[in-house]
Amino acid sequence: MRRTVGFAIAILAVVAACKSDEQKKAPAGNAKATDGEELQRGGMARLPSNEPKYLNPILEPRFIVANSLIFEGLVGLDAKLEPVERLAQSWEISPDGRTITFKLRDNVKWHDGEKFTSADVAFTFEAIRSTSAATAWKAYMAPVQELTTPDERTVVVTYAEPFAPALVTWTVGILPKHLFTGSGDGGTIDLTSAHANLEPVGTGPFKYTRWELGKRLLLEANRDWWHKRPHLDGIELVFGLGEADVLEALRRDQLDWARVPDVESWLTVAQTGDFRDHFEASEVVESRLRLIAWNTQRAPLDDKRVRKALTYALDRSRVISDVLFGQASAIAAPFFPTMFGHDASVAPLPFDLDAARKLLDEAAPAKGDKRFDIEVITVDTFRGPATDGMTAIFRRDLGTLGIDFKMTTLPKEAYYERINRRDYDGVYFGWLPDIPDPDPAALLHSSQAQSGANYAAYSNAEVDRLVDEARRSVDREKRKKLYQQLQQVLAEEMPYTPLYTPYGHYAWSRRLHGVTARDVGPQAPLPGVAAWWLEKK
């Protein structure tokens, strides 16, 4: 690994030099219309995107840029991921935390000119609850006891008991009732077969124009958007670009914005003087985690001493420095550092082979030179230099303790098949929030141990109590204290080894202004892309 370390040092020196160089330049891409610049309207910005299966925020399982630009929720987010008014102009939460009363904006129209009303919110709620299609939103709407619409501009949501993430669940995109009702049972069209999934109508800053299958999706500015007209005339979403292709497409002027796909590209290509002459670049700590879940129902991983020993023996700091070149932060628990539930006072366990050996000698004594084998599975989209480098480090260190470590990459179907059977020793995976809330129930609650996202198959009554109590508390300070207690328990139990939170890296043309790194993503702030503008060539 010495060559890798030397390479990292060399790259970091280049980065430092480039940053010093950059300080002499006036930033262009992230500037607003100040310092003599004149904001210009018009132009089409081009972004890479996955091709959607559904242009429907309820049904599409992945983050799709188009859905976030076409549809809106009652609630939006600011730059700190705090809730702000969006389709709702205000809300009131009852003292017992069980009822939210939303007052809707009166000046919102669907892209086809129809008026947005509370009936659309009620339809979206019922569609989520009744659809047989897989949707993450069903779980978030399950705590709702009743939704009523006293008038066109009022929505009252009542929960069976206080539900802390309740408000931010209403970031879900609202669907137009008039396009999903007709000839189906009870006058409602099957959500998955509706034509509106292919030619969507929303209330957002951009509206659907054309979908060229396999090639691109075109959106135009919604000139009647309730917030204000976007500065751009439109957005072109380009399909079919692999991660390795996006930077080259950016350099060839085929894209105006792109996510930098890997650390090496960020530290080499994206830091050169030639690149920075033409492009802005930014890094940001994102709401993403990398974890290993240990199968707590399988020996010897059912012993917390073994799980803690494995965490001591996995040199996460070296992975961050040698493999990721410092472009990540260590974490101590499955909590997002960008959200309030994170407790910075709980430090990650250090790399300590002696401490690991001592615990293993107690819990899983060696037989000769061998203790046991471990197979960790991951999906094949994680295959690459970073995973290979991490695996090599883990395999070598665990080998000194008599543990044979193996990372198996699987196609998506086979991966989820084994996940559903809980047929593995461990799972290496990434975790992103569906909603901007730190609630860790999906990963930790025993109700999710056999068929949900609790890949550790972990069941602990005290953890369930803390998770449930935090979910029922609408007092943020109380929730923070409960999550601090929870993280103390997890530090001893270690159903997961938290690895790191990777930095996100982005680059965009210096002709493109008003950009912030969080503008394209599941938790994009308002107004986001609608505030971008292009200099004319």
305, 254 contact by CB (below 8 A): no
Flag whether pLDDT at 436 surpasses 80.
yes
199, 482 contact by CB (below 8 A): no
**Mean pLDDT of the region 452-466:** 96
**Which segments of 217-352 does DSSP mark as H helices, in order?**
246-251, 263-267, 273-278, 304-313, 316-318
**Mean pLDDT of the region 137-153:** 95
Exposure class string for 324-350: b at 16+ Cβ within 10 A, else e: bbebbebbbbbbbbbbbbbbeebebbe
Task: State the residue for tokens 């930095």.
Answer: 503
What are the chain's domains?
2-48+204-285+511-532 (3.40.190.10), 72-197 (3.90.76.10), 289-503 (3.10.105.10)
238, 249 contact by CB (below 8 A): yes
335, 437 contact by CB (below 8 A): no
Query: Can you state the angle between helices 304-313 and 385-399, rounded to 10 degrees?
Result: 120
User: According to the model, what pLDDT value does residue 382 have?
Assistant: 87
User: According to the model, what pLDDT value does residue 188 have?
Assistant: 61
Flag whether pLDDT at 11 surpasses 50.
no
End-to-end CA distance of the chain: 47
Q: Is 396 helix (H, G, I), strand (E, B) or coil?
A: helix
User: According to the model, what pLDDT value does residue 287 have?
Assistant: 86
pLDDT per residue over 35-92, tens digit each? Answer: 446 788 899 999 999 899 999 999 988 889 999 999 999 999 998 889 999 999 999 9
Q: Is 31 helix (H, G, I), strand (E, B) or coil?
A: coil
**Mean pLDDT of the region 350-369:** 95
Bridge partner list, 145: none
Distance CA 56, CA 77 (A): 20
**Mean pLDDT of the region 468-493:** 93
Distance CA 418, CA 416 (A): 5
Average per-residue pLDDT for the chain:
89
User: According to the model, what pLDDT value does residue 389 have?
Assistant: 95
pLDDT per residue over 487-526, tens digit each? Answer: 999 999 999 999 999 999 999 999 999 999 889 988 889 9
Q: For residue 324, what pLDDT band results from cuts at 50, 70 and 90?
A: very high
Q: For residue 186, what pLDDT band results from cuts at 50, 70 and 90?
A: low
User: According to the model, what pLDDT value does residue 189 have?
Assistant: 65
Q: What percent of the chain has pLDDT over 90?
A: 72
User: According to the model, what pLDDT value does residue 19 have?
Assistant: 40
